[in-house]
Structure 1
């Protein structure tokens, strides 16, 4: 069998350099003693007759051509070789073969698909009246057509003009993309394509994210009213205080003793004045009156210091931000030295430290949202009012302070010094720009020439 198969195939392969389809059909016709061998080519899921054995030309509108294409399509649609008359165990449909045999008085028909890999590219139909086709005949025709299919397909493809070849290549590629095979890979590919299109074409709201801190313009400094020693401290940093609340009390012992001494001197001066009046000593009386006035002035100063010994709050409400004096009890303080630093709870604003590379996306009047670390479940809307003209270095990065004022006021629990994350609304950009613009800017700076 192998020798017969080889003796048929190799001459046919050489003939395929000429009119390939006709050569294959004529060779098979001579080999198997058939009255006629037809070769059809699959085109858009239909079989189109391309060659008739020993026939250089035929009319495509002939009835026999249409009928031959019908029996070829019957074998193509069933993806199997069809033998007529059918054997006893046949399960294939042979309706078209029966009609063709009756119409053209053909006793025996063999129709075999031509395969190229897993695809059917054509169909061969053999007709004869001398003897039926055996299984060996069917197998040899199948092997012969399979061997010749690659060369036939190559010649068929190259025989078309450039535009048609390109259209076929595109159609083949699209069939692989939209076919039923490799479903998951195609689904992932479609998702990737959809994501790429979305990331490059559809603009999204972009927000500049930066650390922020709550601040207030009104800072109050509390100083020591006179030289003294710390006796009692009533507050610590973080405490909220109100007008009249005591902050600190200086030691009053020395002042009390000095007050008592001056009060005694005042009484002595009054007695001396009375004695001088009784003795009609006008000059002495004037001297003691002057001493009394001096003593009273000193006493007034001491009593003023006593009234100022307890330092109190002189604003409506504030929060202690600096001044942890609990560890300095008994320590001396000089007049005018700073004791506490307080911040007013009113007129609180947010200061956002925007990185230098994001400053171009921030303009005056942009709104944004602030989430405070102590209560991140809610965001507070603000509007940018001012951008600092100078940069500050924070965490080894140049930043610009952007001032934002709250649109709807501030809650009562806001305190200067609280930190959080602010997001300033900027222009819309694509997702690709949002994810890549910082890296691209970095490369531009490093690689420019």
Structure 2
């Protein structure tokens, strides 16, 4: 029986049914009544094996043929009731089904099933071969057969409940032990729980647990021993016994179990186990492999004075199948973090280079190809920077004198032509002042004529000075009147200055009223990251994509690297000015976008990893210099 063979329990149950059926058939046939000289000469029992197969399990006497009775038993099985058949002259066959009374059969939707069928050969004397006498002779035999089958069904039912109770008890022990192992957080504590409980449940002198390291198994825990010396001869012998078990991938028992009907354990190599028993002085040893998904992880060796039975070996195999995975997970979790990293890397390498994992290998090939291409191919290297569109120049229109706003003709965003009026100042006071100074000049002119006629040169000189003063005042007033209407100095767009809300309001001389920018003269302010400013130089070309026009690109040229810096998102950025090549589109100052400056050719892998490499260099310099 191989380790973990799922059919071992079925084979054992089948053998048990066969032995029970053979004993029952012999007892029934030998003690059956002989009414009127009729007697049972032969009998067979047909039993279910698996789901579909039906096989003979008992024959009485052992020298009989039973072929005709097997056919009768098969007919009984198919009919599901007792049958009587004429086999030969004076020979009758009687059969009766054996019903399955277990809980599994009674709870099925079909109803009560069958376990088997019994067929007997009855020989009648010559005097009872007519129908009436044969029927009177068969009635006691059929009644006896029905009662005997009831006894067989009862024995089968008792055996079923006994086996179920044993399985439940074994399962309960397994669950208790598994719960004790899972309750521990560390591998050493969990393995100590395992070996100690196994020693107690199986009455063992010593239980040793070994785990595979490389090609050999190493003892990691011994029952009732907190510490042990690995150099002890007994520990080495135990490890050799575990290796012997793992090499055969099967449980090894010394001596072989007495109930090993198929002599499975008798053909195993037991040299190391025999040497272990010689060294320990005990009578029996058993090694069971710890398997997880078909992989041998370790083994457990038990030593005691009484031999192990096949049922105990099977129970221990199923128990270790449950516990192994939990122990391995705890062992892996107990490893140090560097060891975990190395192990994970090793597993990935095994998947990449070992058999299987086709998708993993294809992904690895694609990754290697991509890295090779990036290391060999070159491409244009670009520096990305946030960009803001600014006017190349802006003209400020201020209030020419202190006065009041009479009319506002434009608002911010309006496009104006050269000489187009923008706003008008209130000129009523200036007109009155103009008339005043004109009247003053006329009066002074008359006074000058009178004094010149009188020949008073000194008075003429004084009046001439007063005339110059009045003329200057008049020219000043006329100049203000000429500037009372604000006009555009060039064709452009009004950037700021909304006077519609200040009509009639007073403005001071020199106060800013409007700000104008040209229509097609723009510059770009690029905020270049500090780490890439060394790659920027005047004359480099680039492209700009504005947030308002993402589908269009604008060409520009770097003109000036300024010492001005700006901080954003915790990093410093240098301001670089660039000139925008006009393409006829109507742009607006203040638009933002992203600009890319071409700084030359470089390998793709250096372009993609430049920021990471720079960060690593700074980090290494910070910590190690």
Which of 535, 548, 555 is the matching residue for 1:381?
A: 555
Normalised to the residue count of structure 2, the TM-score between the two structures is 0.39
- Give the alignment partner of residue 592 of structure 2, picking from 380, 399, 419: 419
Q: 1:205 aligns with which of 374, 380, 383?
A: 380
In the alignment, the residues of structure 1 paired with residue 611 and residue 432 of structure 2 have an alpha-carbon distance, to the nearest angstrom, of: 72
**Secondary structure of the corresponding residue to residue 225 of structure 1:** coil
Tell me which residue corresponds to 2:322.
none
Correspondence 1:176 to 2:351:
no
Asked if structure 2 preserves the Cα contact closer than 8 Å seen for 1:220 and 1:343, the reply is yes
- Candidates 356, 360, 370, aligned match of 2:530: 356
Matches of 2:396 and 2:438, distance apart in 1: 35
Aligned counterpart for 1:365 among listed residues 530, 533, 539: 539
Query: Which of 411, 428, 431 is the aligned partner of 1:253?
Result: 428
Cα distance change of structure 1 residues 405 and 295 upon mapping to structure 2, 3 Å threshold? closer
Q: Is the 8 A contact 1:383 1:404 kept in 2?
A: yes
Secondary structure of 1:236 counterpart: coil
Greater displacement, 347-356 / 329-338? 329-338
Q: Does the alignment pair 1:10 with 2:268?
A: yes
In 1: Cα distance, 2:497 partner to 2:570 partner: 29
Aligned match of 1:231? 406
Using structure 1 for the length normalisation, give the TM-score.
0.53
Give the number of the structure with larger relative contact order, counting CA–CA contacts within 8 Å between residues 6 or more apart: 1
Query: Conserved in 2, the CA contact under 8 Å of 1:210 and 1:421?
Result: yes
CA change 1:429–1:289 in 2 (3 A) is closer
1:234–1:246 CA contact under 8 A, matched in 2: yes
Matched, 1:442 2:618: no
8 Å CA contact 1:251–1:309 kept in 2: the answer is: yes
Residues 164-196 of structure 1 deviation map (CA, whole Å, 9 limit, x = unaligned): xxxxxx99986725xxxx554544444444444
Q: Is the 8 A contact 1:246 1:310 kept in 2?
A: yes
Distance (whole Å) between structure 2 residues aligned to residue 291 and residue 303 of structure 1: 18
Aligned CA RMSD, in angstroms, stands at 4.0
Q: CA deviation at 1:423?
A: 0.8
How far 1:255 sits from its partner (Å)?
0.6
Unpaired stretches in structure 2, ≥5 consecutive residues: 2-259, 272-293, 295-348
In structure 2, C-alpha distance between the alignment counterparts of 1:304 and 1:171, rounded to whole Å: 94
**Larger Rg over CA atoms:** 2
Seen in structure 2, the aligned counterparts of structure 1 residues 440 and 330 have a Cα distance that, compared at 3 Å, is: farther
Q: Distance in 1 between matches of 2:560 and 2:469?
A: 57
Q: CA deviation at 1:359?
A: 1.7
- Equivalent pair of 2:352/2:364 in contact (CA under 8 Å): no
Summarize the Cα distance change of 1:225–1:193 in structure 2 as closer, same or farther, 3 Å threshold: same
Cα 1:297/1:367, change in 2 over 3 Å: closer
Q: 1:186-217: CA deviations, max 9, x gaps? A: 44444444444445554443321111123344
1:184 to 1:386, Cα distance in 2 relative to 1, 3 A:
same
- Structure 1 window deviating more from structure 2 (374-383 vs 338-347): it is 338-347
**Aligned-pair CA distance for 1:435:** 4.5
Is residue 352–residue 361 contact of structure 2 (8 Å, CA) maintained in 1? no
* Count of residue pairs the alignment pairs up: 288
Alignment of 1:84-103 (within 5 A): none
Call closer, same or farther: CA 1:5–1:225 in 2, change over 3 Å: same
State the shift of 1:376 in Å. Answer: 1.9
- 2:582, 2:474 → 1: CA distance? 50
- Contact 2:405–2:502 under 8 Å retained in 1: yes
- Deviation for aligned residue 1:242: 2.6
SS of match in other structure, 1:205: strand
- State the distance in 2 between where 1:209 and 1:342 align: 31
Confirm whether residue 307 of structure 1 aligns to residue 482 of structure 2: yes
2:578 aligned with 1:320: no
Offset at residue 267 of structure 1 (A): 4.4
Aligned to 1:340: 514
State the Cα distance separating 1:235 from its structure 2 match. 2.8
Shift of 1:354: 0.3
> Measured at CA, do residues 171 and 306 of structure 1 come closer, stay the same or move farther in structure 2, by a change above 3 Å?
closer
Q: 2:265, 2:532 → 1: CA distance?
A: 79
Residue 355 (structure 1) shift: 0.9
Structure 1 residue 272 displacement after superposition: 5.5
| SS of residue in 1 equivalent to 2:514 | strand
Worse overlay, 346-355 or 332-341 = 332-341
- In 2: Cα distance, 1:288 partner to 1:256 partner: 25
Instruction: Tell me, in whole angstroms, the C-alpha distance in 2 between the residues paired with 1:358 and 1:228.
Output: 53
